[in-house]
Structure 1
Amino acid sequence: MNLTVYLAGQIHDPWRDELIEKAHSKDLPLTFVSPMTNHSRSDAIGEEISGEQPTKIMKDDKASEFNNLRTEVLMAKSDVVIAYFGESYKQWNTAMDASTALAKNKPLILIRDESLHHALKELSNKATATVENFDQAIKALSYVFETE
């Protein structure tokens, strides 16, 4: 059995690489998908597809359409969603993706440092599991494959 894992969260640093590397080191049968992690491409995709937009707001709105399309398709095909809340960036997209996962009845693993407990308490209590780091998230996924 192979699971597809959607990695929700900010795209400004390579946190996904670290998590994927940890999964590969355990030889887990996982396929990872995510939002577009090339920030420039994510911001420009609306104009690449639909042409130049007259304002920055319309450019953002058009890019959002196609980024939302990508998220909807990839999340729908995923078996599990991992939402990572880091300390470095505002996490609005992460919260939106986590909420979408819950609305779609997707198993959700929330990764957040203990310092974010209070800010994320309601979302954490809706998640399937909440952990504090990548190692714990990988252990949770590994447990799915255990037979005894």
Structure 2
Amino acid sequence: MEIIIYLAGEIHTSWREEIKARSNALQLPITFVGPMENHERSDNIGEEILGEQPNAILKDEAASSINNFRTQILMQKADIVIALFGEKYKQWNTAMDASLAITSGKPLILIRPKEHHHALKELSRKANVTVETIEQAIQVLSYIFEEK
């Protein structure tokens, strides 16, 4: 059995690579998908496809519509969503993706540091599983494939 996991969250750190490497080391049958990790491409995709926009707001809106389309398609194909709230970066996209997973009925693993417990308490209660570390998330994934 192979599962598809959508990795939602900030694109500025290597947390996705860590999850992929740890999953591969355990030989878990998982395919990972997620947002465009090339920040410049993500910001410019609207103009690349639709042409130059008259101002920064319309440029952002054009890119957002295409990025949201990508997210919706890939998340619909996913069996599980993992959303990571990191330490440093603004987490608006993570919150949006986690909410989309919940409203779509996708099983959700929420990774959030202990320090974010209070700020994310409602979202944590809606997630299927809330953990504090990537290692804990990998343990949850590994458990799915245990037979005995």
Q: Is TM-score (shorter-chain normalized) higher than 0.5?
A: yes
How many residues are treated as equivalent by the alignment? Answer: 148
Name the CA distance, whole Å, in 1 between partners of 2:17 and 2:126. 26
The CA deviation string for residues 3-49 of structure 1, in whole angstroms up to 9 with x for no partner, is 00000001112211111111111100000000000000000000001
The CA deviation string for residues 30-76 of structure 1, in whole angstroms up to 9 with x for no partner, is 00000000000000000001000000000000000000010000000
TM-score normalised by the chain length of structure 2: 0.99
Name the CA distance, whole Å, in 1 between partners of 2:131 and 2:112. 6
TM-score normalised by the chain length of structure 1: 0.99
Unaligned runs of 5+ in 1: none
What SS does the corresponding residue of 1:118 show, helix, strand or coil?
coil
Match of 1:101 in 2: 101
Q: Could you list the runs of 4 or more consecutive aligned residues of structure 1 that deviate by over 6 angstroms after TM superposition? A: none
Unaligned runs of 5+ in 2: none
Name the CA distance, whole Å, in 2 between partners of 1:130 and 1:7. 15
% of aligned pairs identical? 61
Match of 1:129 in 2: 129
AA of the residue aligned to 1:15: W
Match of 1:143 in 2: 143
What SS does the corresponding residue of 1:130 show, helix, strand or coil?
strand
What SS does the corresponding residue of 2:10 show, helix, strand or coil?
coil
What SS does the corresponding residue of 1:69 show, helix, strand or coil?
helix
